[in-house]
Amino acid sequence: MTRKKENKKKSALNVQLGIDQPSRINPSLSKGNSRFRKDKVSVESIYKGIIDGDRTFLSRGITLIESVLETDEHDSHKLMKSCLPHSGKSVRIGITGVPGVGKSTFIETLGLNLIKLGMKVAVLAIDPSSKRTKGSILGDKTRMEELSVNDNAYIRPSASLGTLGGVARATREALVLCEAAGFDVILIETVGVGQSETAVSQIVDFFLLLMLAGGGDELQGIKRGIMEMADLIVINKADGDNIKKAEIAAQNYRNALHLFPILENGWSPDVVTSSAIQNIGIDHVWKKILEYVDHTKSNGFFDSRRRNQSLDIMSETIEESLRKRFINSPSILSLMDGYKKQILDDELNPYDVAGELIDKFLKDIEENK
Ligand code: GDP
């Protein structure tokens, strides 16, 4: 033993052997145990805060449901379960259009108009593809400047969970929390380039497509499928020299819509014009939305759409949790790499491997491993 070590051992500053040294840090506070993170707030407090309409707690709640940590899963489910009975009362509106069409300007103007009418407005985004995902909406400070500081508004950027499925799930759950917090209208923004619209149509009651005049027949990169999904098309930037062009475009799109099959809800989507920047035509858009809500509530479509959305949510949740359990099961994990290698080396075919792994997984469950 070196002299230094010997001295240290004899030092009066050390507790002598036989007496338990207390841990310097509380083990519950150790890294990785998110339950006891310094800023951790209980699910009950988050829930109460949300029900009180407190936006800070709403943000905490959304962060919790967006978490991919396994340790947060339990709390996240608990929060969702408590908030669900308080949800369902808002009008959920999807807004899409190519970048630059004026989505955020439109949302800001519509949002402020609705607030003037005494409503509370939440804005969520689905934007899994974009590089500006982290902090999208708020990342660009010029977006929704007035709305973002209004007490009756809540703006939340897209979750950065990577996959579209993940982002769509998080947005759907964020919507439930916003409703529980008393928001009357939820606007969900997507970038109209294709993939996220289908996901958003499984969340919203009404789907609004923003377009520009003069885009020509190629529909400005908007796929025909997205036009078919729209409950209303709005030709934006109908101001200044653009008014006439916008009206002509609206008529052309109206004609085009007539060629589409009639929607099962009996609603005929219309085409209107707006100037988001000058607040022209936005009230008319809101009237159209209310008309749609009335129409579909009276023919039962509004509720049946939501019920079907609930069925979709159930199927997706089953798929996702089965997948998670399968992928994380220790015996599957231990076999996976070997099997993958054998497939790559052409020694086994993927169908046999998939079948074997599933059989193994089910057998483990049966034997309670
Ligand atoms: P987003 O990318 O779809 O969210 O579009 P933005 O709302 O950021 O708008 C893109 C640009 O179009 C901005 O410079 C806006 O000021 C402008 N803009 C938006 N709405 C209108 C409008 O109604 N009229 C005119 N003239 N410009 C608009």
From ligand 1's centre to the CA of 221, what distance in Å? 17
DSSP secondary structure of 315-330: HHHHHHHHHHHHHH-H
- Ligand 1 contacts CB of residue 235 (under 6 A): no
Tell me the residue range of the domain where 53 lies: 39-81
Q: Can you give the pTM of this predicted structure?
A: 0.80
Q: Are residues 278 and 132 in the same domain?
A: yes
Best of 95, 105, 211, 239 to mutate for ligand 1, by most ligand atoms within 8 A of CB? 105
Residue where a domain terminates, one of 251, 275, 298: 298
How remote is the CA of residue 256 from the centroid of ligand 1, in Å?
A: 25
Which CATH number covers residue 64?
A: 1.20.5
pLDDT band at 319 (very low <50, low <70, confident <90, very high): confident
pLDDT at 33 over 50: no
- The one-letter amino acid code at 317 reads T
Dist. CA 237–CA 174, nearest whole Å: 31
pLDDT at residue 316, as a whole number:
81
pLDDT confidence of residue 131: 47
pLDDT digits (tens, 9 = 90+) for 355-369: 999 999 999 989 876
What pLDDT, on the 0 to 100 scale, is given for residue 55? 95
Q: 106 near 281, Cβ under 8 Å?
A: no
Is the CB of residue 192 below 6 angstroms from any atom belonging to ligand 1? no
Q: Indicate if 137 and 262 belong to the same structural domain.
A: yes
What is the residue type of 284?
Answer: H
Assigned domain for 58 exists: yes
The whole-number pLDDT of residue 125 equals: 83
Q: What is the tens place of the pLDDT at every residue in 176-233?
A: 999 999 999 999 998 766 667 777 888 899 999 999 987 654 455 566 778 888 999 9
Position 307 in a domain = no
Using CA positions, which residue lies closest to atom 19 of ligand 1?
A: 102
The pLDDT, as a whole number, for residue 162 is 62
Residue 288, ligand 1, Cβ within 6 A: no
pLDDT per position as a tens digit, 6-23: 444 444 444 344 444 444
Given a cut of 70, is residue 311 above it in pLDDT? yes
Q: Return mean pLDDT, the chain.
A: 82
* 281 close to ligand 1 (CB < 6 Angstrom): no
CA dihedral 110, 178, 184, 200 (to 10 degrees): 60
Q: How confident is the model at residue 69 (pLDDT cuts 50, 70, 90)?
A: confident
Of 274, 298, 322, the residue that ends a domain is 298
**148 Cα: distance to centroid of ligand 1 (angstroms):** 17
**Whole-number pLDDT of residue 142:** 54
Has residue 346 got a pLDDT over 70? yes
Residue 99: CB within 6 Å of ligand 1?
yes
Per-residue pLDDT, averaged over 40-53, amounts to 94
CA distances from 202 to 301, 309, 316, 325 (A): 14, 6, 11, 25
pLDDT in the model for residue 34? 45
Predicted local confidence at residue 16, as pLDDT? 40
Does the CB atom of residue 96 touch ligand 1 within 6 A?
A: no
Distance between CA atoms of residues 289 and 93, nearest Å? 9
The domain boundary, picked from 58, 81, 104, lies at: 81
Q: Is the CB of 101 under 6 A from ligand 1?
A: yes
Atom 24 in ligand 1: residue holding the nearest Cα: 237
pLDDT at 194: 64
* 122 and 238 together in one domain: yes
Q: Which residue has the higher pLDDT, 352 or 125?
A: 352
Nearest CA, atom 26, ligand 1: 237
